[in-house]
Amino acid sequence: MAEKKEDEKAASQPKLNKIYVPGTINKVRVGMCQILLSDTVHTGKNGTKTVKSNNPVTLYDTSGPYSDSRYVHSMENGLFRIRDGWNCRRKDIVQEKHHAGMNGHHFPNRPPVSRAKPDKQITQMYYARKRIITPEMEYVAIRENQQVEALGIKSYITPDFVRKELLSGRAVIPCNINHPEVEPMIIGKRFRVKVNTQILPPGDSAKDAVDQIILYCKWGTDTLLDLSLHDNCHQTREWLIRNSPVPFGTSPLYQALMKAGGKAEDLSWELFRDTLIEQAEQGIDFVAIHAGMRREHLKLIDIRLTELVSRSGIAISRWMEAHREENFLHTHFGEICEILKTYDITLWLSCGLRPGSIYDANDDAQYAEQHEMSGLIEAAWDQCVQVMCEGPGHVPLNKIETNIKDHQHICRGLPFFTLGITTVDIAGEFDYIASAIGSAHIAWHGASLISGITMKDELRVPAPEDIRTDIFAHKIAAHSADIAKGHPGAQVRDNALSKARREGRLEDFHVLKIAP
């Protein structure tokens, strides 16, 4: 009898399960986390007990197979390539074993390099134009809904809705065909607000770097942005991409600058182009390109309090001043798009002139660069390249709504990405709080991707506990915006937690909290 009671008690305890939801159009299996809640027990006045079961809560899960208790990870083999079968069924891709820039150092289980055939298009925007619902589109539709239909909640997010948002340019799915391990996700204001994490992986230990990003994925980051500045960044990045279930991004100018010996004056289009191709073949899913920054804009920063704070923006301005020429990223923008569409890499139009203080927020320099981006967006769309745009870093609360409304108008409603939007300049070590406040506000008004730690010292690797705090602060900001926007099912978890607290189901209450 005692054993039976223990079994019943164990069965009623909350559990975290990894589940896989199949698609109906394509052969996809979408991984999610499901919380099985304990029963609600009511005791009547006469002492009789009534037991009612509680619906499970399905969560959006960024941890990939790492949260599956049955999964045995091998860093040397990398993650299972869930998109290999999808890519093989496409007749517009060619594969070869050559890898640019590897210098004899190969990942042990490196997949062959894939690219579009010379006369073919392979971007998600192109397929959307052709009315094709790709496995990636169905995958993100299932993932976004978190099975809310089973709870009686209607959702507008269908595979065809995803296709239409990609077609309009209001959303992007960052998924380089050379990153077959990535679990497709979508960035756009009609979908869940996503959280990016900037990383500075150590250059002396690939294992330590992989262990770090596994933690970040388990903590809930939706994308990773590599800001490596060490000599082994290419080799380390190879290990990270092979073991990353979330989209992986870079700023190629960083590595190009390293190749130039740290001298901005020695940068060249050829050096940047070769670096971009190297990273494209590795599998980066989105790239920061500062093509909207023009030589004529430099005079607009003279009256600023903080001038330039973007590392890439500073490098480009020095190059333009030294050579007395136009920004080579702008001059060769068409060729950049040719490279990106060959691998289906999402273009992230970055702000080299973004304000570094709230005093300079929404100034002429910022708007001049945004207006320049408008023409670049059209040029990228002409080649079916997926595009998102970066917003400013320092904006007081009263200017955030105006900022994003102007951006959405100028940049045609593109997904808006903000890197640590802080509402005050004095937060210091508590910048993540100022950033979370600003991020929640701007995401509510339409930003699609918000970011964690703003690196003030790019040579210092943040401690893991700092990254953890930052990720959870911005996950709370993103969730706050999702509720305010009325995203389908956004409040399910909150309601389940409140019900558990009212009924005294403390185990359920603790497992439903956002932090593990």
Q: What is d(CA 270, CA 292) in angstroms, rounded to the nearest whole number?
A: 19
pLDDT digits 0-9 by tens, 362-399 = 999 999 999 999 999 999 999 999 999 998 889 999 99
What pLDDT does residue 205 have?
86
The structure tokens 């009686």 sit at: 152
For residue 277, with 0-12 CB atoms within 10 Å meaning exposed, 13-18 middle and 19 or more buried, which class applies? middle
Q: What is d(CA 176, CA 116) in angstroms, rounded to the nearest whole number?
A: 11
**pLDDT above 50 (res 11):** no
Q: What is d(CA 359, CA 375) in angstroms, rounded to the nearest whole number?
A: 28
What pLDDT does residue 9 have?
46
**pLDDT above 80 (res 345):** yes
Give residue 403's identity as a one-letter amino acid code: N
Neighbours of 122 (CB within 10 A): 21
The structure tokens 């893991």 sit at: 464
pLDDT digits 0-9 by tens, 474-501 = 999 999 999 999 999 999 999 999 999 9
End-to-end CA distance of the chain: 34
Mean pLDDT of 413-442: 93
Mean pLDDT of 350-359: 93
Q: What is d(CA 191, CA 189) in angstroms, rounded to the nearest whole number?
A: 5
Whole-Å CA distances, 315 to 85, 94, 187, 253? 41, 36, 29, 9
Candidates 194, 213, 196; CA nearest to 461 is 213
What pLDDT does residue 10 have?
44
